[in-house]
Amino acid sequence: MSTETIEFQAEARQLLRLMIHSIYSNKDVFLRELISNASDALDKVRLAAYQDKELGAETDDPHVELVPDAEARTLTVRDNGIGMTRDEVVELIGTIAKSGTAELLAKLQEAGDGDQARELIGQFGIGFYSSFMVADRVELTTRKAGTDGGVRWESDGEGSYTIADVADAPQGTAVTLHLKASDAEDQMHDYADRSVVRRIVKTYSDFITWPIRMTPEAPAEEAEDGENATPEPETLNSMQALWARSQKDVSDAEYAEFYRHVSHDWQEPLETIRLAAEGTFEYQALLFLPQVAPMDLYMRDARRGVQLYVRRVFIMDDCEALVPEYLRFVKGVVDAADLSLNVSREILQQDRQISAIRRRLVKKVLSTIGTLRDEQPEKYATFWEQFGRALKEGLLSDQDNQETILGVCSFASTHATDAPTTLAAYKERMKEGQEAVYYMTGDSRTAIESSPHMEAFRDKGYEVLLLTDPVDEVWVDAVEGFDGTPFRSIAKGQVDLETEADKEKAEEQKAEFAGLCEWMAGVLSDDVKEVRVSSRLTTSPACLVGDELDMTPTLEKMYRAMGQEPPKVQRILELNPSHPLVTGLRDTQAEGASDTLAESAELLHGMALLAEGGELTDPSRFVGLLSARLQNSL
Query: Could you list the residues that contact Mg ion (CB under 5 A)?
Result: 37, 127
8, 128, 259, 487: which one binds ligand ADP (CB under 6 A): 128
Does 120 sit near ligand ADP (CB under 6 A)? no
Is 48 a binding residue for ligand ADP by CB under 6 A? The answer is no
- In this structure, are residues 14 and 30 in contact, taking their beta carbons and an 8 Å threshold? no
Shortest Å distance, C-beta 80 to ligand ADP: 10
Among 18, 29, 31, 38, binds ligand ADP (CB under 6 A): 38
Q: How far apart are CA 194 and CA 215, in angstroms?
A: 9
Is residue 77 a contact partner of residue 64, using CB atoms and an 8 Å limit?
A: yes
Distance, in Å, from the CA atom of 321 to the CA atom of 373, rounded to the nearest integer, reads 27
Residue number with the smallest Cβ distance to ligand ADP = 127
At its nearest, how many Å lie between Mg ion and the CB of residue 98? 12
Amino acid at 444: S
Q: Residue 89 or 214: which CB sits closer to ligand ADP?
A: 89
Q: Which of 32, 178, 261, 264 touches ligand ADP (CB under 6 A)?
A: 264
**Window contacting ligand ADP (CB under 6 A); options: 6-14, 22-30, 123-131, 193-201:** 123-131
CA dist., res. 357 & res. 288, Å (int): 16
493 binds ligand ADP (CB under 6 A): no
DSSP one-letter code for 603: H
Of residues 264 and 304, the one with the C-beta less far from ligand ADP:
264
- Which range, of 35-43, 242-250, 351-359, 466-474, touches ligand ADP by CB under 6 A? 35-43
Is 212 among the residues that bind ligand ADP (CB under 6 A)?
A: no
C-alpha distances in angstroms, 599 versus 405, 520, 629? 49, 10, 10
Q: Is 173 in the site for ligand ADP (CB under 6 A)?
A: yes
179 binds ligand ADP (CB under 6 A): no
Q: Is 506 exposed, middle or buried (0-12, 13-18, 19+ CB in 10 A)?
A: middle
Instruction: Quickly count: other Cβ atoms within 10 Å of residue 461's Cβ.
Output: 10
- Closest distance between Mg ion and the C-beta of residue 127, in Å? 3
Tell me which of Mg ion, ligand ADP, none is bound by residue 613, counting a contact when its beta carbon lies within the kind-specific cut-off of 5 to 8 angstroms.
Answer: none
CA distances from 183 to 190, 247, 538 (A): 6, 37, 72
Angstrom distance (rounded) from CA 3 to CA 10: 21
Q: Which does 92 bind (CB under 5 to 8 A by kind): ligand ADP, Mg ion, none?
A: ligand ADP
Q: How many helices (H) and strands (E) does the chain have?
A: 21, 23
* DSSP classification of residue 167: S
Convert residues 353-372 into a mask of x (bound to ligand ADP by CB under 6 A) and - (unbound).
--------------------
CB of 69 to ligand ADP, least distance (A): 19
Question: Residue 184 corresponds to which amino acid?
Answer: A
Binding partner at 38 among ligand ADP, Mg ion, none, C-beta below 5 to 8 Å by kind: ligand ADP
Nearest to 272 by CA among 264, 260, 282: 260
Near ligand ADP in 500-519, by CB under 6 A: none
The entry of ligand ADP, Mg ion, none near residue 308 (CB within 5 to 8 angstroms by kind) is none
CB of 264 to ligand ADP, least distance (A): 4
User: What is the Cα–Cα distance from 308 to 316, expressed in whole angstroms?
Assistant: 5
How far, in Å, CA of 263 to CA of 124, rounded?
Answer: 10
Among residues 504, 517, 524, the alpha carbon closest in space to that of 589 is found at: 517
Interface region with ligand ADP, contact rule CB under 6 A, candidates 46-54, 79-87, 191-199, 301-309: 79-87
Rounded (10°) angle between helices 595-611 and 580-591: 160
Q: Does 82 bind ligand ADP (CB under 6 A)?
A: yes
Non-local CB neighbours of 298 within 8 Å, separated by 6+ positions: 389, 390
Q: What minimum distance in Å lies between the beta carbon of 8 and ligand ADP? A: 13
Interface pick for ligand ADP out of 18, 31, 37, 214 (rule CB under 6 A): 37
Binding site for ligand ADP (CB under 6 A): 33, 37-38, 41, 79, 81-84, 92-93, 125-128, 173, 264
